[in-house]
């Protein structure tokens, strides 16, 4: 049976590490099962802030991968400050009071000279290359995935030129993402971002988002069909390691300055003072970047001696940490802008059989999913007493040897099921 060819335009692709690469790596893995042949277009010389060579093993040799060079300003910004340019490329932006002159300069240039983002120079050469490829190979559907949202501009140009069906996938929002306010945008830059966002949303044939909150936001800008396809979990080769002997609370991923749950640190301090056994058993594991602000706050609450820091690890190693930890922490910034953020790790957390303790803004999509799947407890930053009660209950179950989650209805979040939903959108467009 002849498969339908679909061109997928992405920036993050193995050996890139981190959450940005997982979504389309997994879609590409399963699309052939549903009669679709993915053709992937990515940069040949990207500046990925995180590398995970092990993800290359998941890329099938049967997949056509097209590559073209990209010019990225982060390489040139490195002459000013290699560490600062790399930090900003990861999306880690220092607090205003902690920003040096170089920080402010890099942020101003990034926000106002590179609209919509620092990969904008890839748009024109990519369009020229792909416009010919689409014609030569009879491609009928193009999918762009962002951020970086400049990739959607490639889809916009290809649609205008060849009339292809164009699906725009938004892993994160555009102008309402939390860090947007920190880019020191001029009024002109703000309006330019909004205009580009509106044009993409109104011209794409189909829009995909990862959360209901983002769908609601975009519905106020466009009347084009919007589908929610979340991230998910996949089968993995990681076995079930023995659980940690200590009462371990583990956070996987970056713990940045604004993602600093002081209410949790306060609760832990009180539990340490009130329960001698708790003080003997507690361990905190942070896998990924941890800001100096978070470490300083932990020190203030007397928790530094309980902290075990681990730098970035491979994806499989992260899954191992998830499966062996007693409790998994999920922390989000307390703001309206983050209600739509559903971290990719949430779904891997959910199938780890470990209870999740999540803290974030009220009425978030994460809160809805946790309640729906019975995989954890969600709290706001003001829920001191409730957090304390829950941690004590977790600790009691840990001491009794029966601490685990009791998940329900997880199958719809499998990467295979999610890819089936994607395939229906693609074939419907055709």
Quickly state the pLDDT bin for 355 (edges 50, 70, 90): very high
Is 237 within the bounds of a domain? no
Q: What gap in Å lies between CA 266 and CA 271, rounded to an integer? A: 9
List CB contacts of 306: < 8 A, sequence separation 6 or more. 268, 282, 283, 284
Quickly state the pLDDT bin for 362 (edges 50, 70, 90): very high
pLDDT in tens, 275-314: 999 999 999 999 998 999 999 999 999 999 999 999 888 8
Tell me the chain's radius of gyration from C-alpha atoms.
22
Is 212 within the bounds of a domain? yes
Per-residue pLDDT, 82:
46
pLDDT at 183 over 90: no
Give yes or no: residues 257 and 387 share one domain: yes
Mean pLDDT of the 374-394 span: 97
Give yes or no: residues 205 and 353 share one domain: no
The range of the structural domain enclosing residue 352 comes to 247-400
Give yes or no: residues 216 and 267 share one domain: no
List CB contacts of 356: < 8 A, sequence separation 6 or more. 327, 328, 329, 330, 346, 349, 350, 370, 375, 376, 377, 405
Per-residue pLDDT, 286:
97
* Residues 91-103 as b or e (16 or more Cβ within 10 Å = b): bbbbeeeebeeeb
Q: What gap in Å lies between CA 325 and CA 246, rounded to an integer? A: 9
Mean pLDDT of the 229-234 span: 95
Closest CA to 167 of 346, 27, 15, 18: 27
Give yes or no: residues 286 and 330 share one domain: yes
Quickly state the pLDDT bin for 73 (edges 50, 70, 90): confident
Give yes or no: residues 53 and 150 share one domain: yes
**Which tokens hold the place of 189?**
């830059």
Q: Does pTM surpass 0.85?
A: yes
Length of the chain: 430
Instruction: Please tell me the least confidently modeled range out of 34-48, 156-170, 307-321.
Output: 307-321
Closest CA to 142 of 197, 195, 206: 206
Q: Hey, what's the torsion of the CAs at 364, 370, 376, 378, to 10 degrees?
A: 20
Largest CA-CA distance found in the chain, in angstroms, rounded: 71
Is 331 within the bounds of a domain? yes
- Which residues lie across from 389 on neighbouring strands? none
Is 90 within the bounds of a domain? no
Instruction: Please tell me the least confidently modeled range out of 175-189, 190-204, 388-402.
Output: 175-189
Q: What gap in Å lies between CA 302 and CA 92, rounded to an integer? A: 26
pLDDT at 112 over 50: yes
Give yes or no: residues 322 and 371 share one domain: yes
Q: How many independent structural domains does the chain possess?
A: 2
Handedness of CA 145, 148, 154, 155 (dihedral sign): positive
Give yes or no: residues 382 and 418 share one domain: no
What does each C-alpha distance from 299 to 247, 293, 328 come to in angstroms?
A: 20, 10, 21
pLDDT at 374 over 90: yes
CATH number of domain containing 381: 3.40.50.2000
Give yes or no: residues 157 and 20 share one domain: yes
Q: Where are the alpha helices (DSSP H) in 138-211?
A: 150-162, 187-203
Give yes or no: residues 264 and 224 share one domain: no
Q: Which H/E stretch holds residue 328?
A: strand 327-331
Give yes or no: residues 206 and 265 share one domain: no
Handedness of CA 179, 289, 265, 98 (dihedral sign): negative
Give yes or no: residues 208 and 311 share one domain: no
Give yes or no: residues 165 and 198 share one domain: yes
Contact indicator for 110, 92 with CB cutoff of 8 Å: no
Is 37 within the bounds of a domain? yes
DSSP string, 51-83: B-GGGGGGS-TTSEEEEE----HHHHHHHHHHH
Is 166 within the bounds of a domain? yes
Per-residue pLDDT, 49:
85
Is 102 within the bounds of a domain? no
Is 9 within the bounds of a domain? yes
Percent of the chain with pLDDT over 90: 76
Torsions phi, psi of 233, nearest 5? -120, 160
**Which tokens hold the place of 188?**
């002109």
Mean pLDDT of the 40-53 span: 93
């Amino acid at each position: 049976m002849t498969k339908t060819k679909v061109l997928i335009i992405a920036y993050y692709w193995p050996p890139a590490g981190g959450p940005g690469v997982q979504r389309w790596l997994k879609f590409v893995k399963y699309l052939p099962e549903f009669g679709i042949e993915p053709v992937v277009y990515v940069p040949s010389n990207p500046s990925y802030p995180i590398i995970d060579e092990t993800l290359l093993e998941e890329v099938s040799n049967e997949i056509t991968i097209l590559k073209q060079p990209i010019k990225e300003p982060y390489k040139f910004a490195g002459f000013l400050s290699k560490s600062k340019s790399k930090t900003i490329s990861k999306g880690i932006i220092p607090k205003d009071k902690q920003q040096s002159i170089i920080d402010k300069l890099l942020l101003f240039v990034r926000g106002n000279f590179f609209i919509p983002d620092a990969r904008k120079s890839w748009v024109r050469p990519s369009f020229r290359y792909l416009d010919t490829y689409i014609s030569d190979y009879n491609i009928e559907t193009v999918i762009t995935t962002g951020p970086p949202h400049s990739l959607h501009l490639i889809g916009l140009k290809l649609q205008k030129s060849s009339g292809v069906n164009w699906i725009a996938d938004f892993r994160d929002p555009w102008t309402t993402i939390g860090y947007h306010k920190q880019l020191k945008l001029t009024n002109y830059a703000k309006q330019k971002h909004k205009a580009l966002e509106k044009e993409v949303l109104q011209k794409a044939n189909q829009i995909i988002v990862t959360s209901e909150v983002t769908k609601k936001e975009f519905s106020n800008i466009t009347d084009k069909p919007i589908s929610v396809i979340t991230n998910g979990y996949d089968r993995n080769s990681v076995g079930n390691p023995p659980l940690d002997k200590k009462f371990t609370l583990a956070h996987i991923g970056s713990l940045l300055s604004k993602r600093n749950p002081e209410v949790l640190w306060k609760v832990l301090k009180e539990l340490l003072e009130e329960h001698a056994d708790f003080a003997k058993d507690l361990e905190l594991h942070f896998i990924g970047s941890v800001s100096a602000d978070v470490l300083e706050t932990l020190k203030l609450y007397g928790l530094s001696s309980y902290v075990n820091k681990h730098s970035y690890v491979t994806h499989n190693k992260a899954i191992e940490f998830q499966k062996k930890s007693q409790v998994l922490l999920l922390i989000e910034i307390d703001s309206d802008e983050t209600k739509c953020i559903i971290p990719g790790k949430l779904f891997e957390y959910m199938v780890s059989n470990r209870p999740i303790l999540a803290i974030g803004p009220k009425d978030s999509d994460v809160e809805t999913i946790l309640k729906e799947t019975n995989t954890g407890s969600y709290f706001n930053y003001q829920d001191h007493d409730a957090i304390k009660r829950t941690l004590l209950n977790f600790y009691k179950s840990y001491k009794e040897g029966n601490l685990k989650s009791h998940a329900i209805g997880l199958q719809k979040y499998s990467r295979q099921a999610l890819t089936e939903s994607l395939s229906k959108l693609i074939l419907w467009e055709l």
